[in-house]
Amino acid sequence: MSQPVKAKGGAMTWVFAVLLVILLLVAAGGGTLLFLVKQRTDQRLADQQTQIAALQKEVQQQDSDISGKQSAIRKAESDLAAALDRGKASEACTAAVQAMWDKAKAGDIAGVTTATQTAITACGISLT
């Protein structure tokens, strides 16, 4: 019978086997680390997207509030302008009536007639 065949390079085979196992363990650890980092990154991304959506909704709400407030400001400005106009008209009416009264106290009949017409116009009175 023939003798068993000896493996060549026995020590080198073990060295390469150990290196292969170490390489496989490093690759598995790296893959696991990469997977965990990717999960964490995906979670952060999802959290940030949720936060962005919430902030966009808040911005839209505030834009709507601002639009409503700007509309209220424009109405208030318009109301103020109308009130100032009424105030000026009231002052003009008061001044015209005072002028009419002064003419009447002075006994100026022609002046009273003219002042009365001015007061009627200034006070916005319609005789029709």
What is the domain count for the chain? Answer: 1
Residue 9 covered by a domain: no
Instruction: Considering only residues 53 and 2, tell me which one the structure prediction assigns the higher pLDDT.
Output: 53
Measured distance CA(114)–CA(95) in Å, rounded: 14
- Percent of the chain that is helix, strand, coil (3-state, to 5): 85, 0, 15
Burial (CB count within 10 angstroms: exposed 0-12, middle 13-18, buried 19+), residue 126: exposed
Q: What is the pLDDT of residue 25?
A: 96
| Within-domain flag for 49 | yes
Q: Is 31 among the domain residues?
A: yes
Find the mean pLDDT for residues 100-128: 87
pTM over 0.75, yes/no: no
Domain-located, residue 1:
no
Q: Is residue 44 part of a domain?
A: yes
In a domain, 108, yes or no: yes
Give the per-residue pLDDT at 11.
82
Would the CA dihedral through 70, 72, 78, 81 be positive or negative?
negative
pLDDT of 10 > 80? The answer is: no
Give a yes or no: residue 21 inside a domain.
yes
Please give the pLDDT value at position 89: 87
Whole-number Å distance between alpha carbons of 94 and 101: 10
Residue of higher predicted confidence among 82 and 7: 82
- Please check whether residue 94 lies inside any domain of the structure: yes
Q: Is the pLDDT of residue 2 over 90?
A: no
74-91 pLDDT per residue, tens: 999 999 999 999 899 889
The 10s digit of each residue's pLDDT in 14-24 is 899 999 999 99
Domain that holds residue 90: 14-122
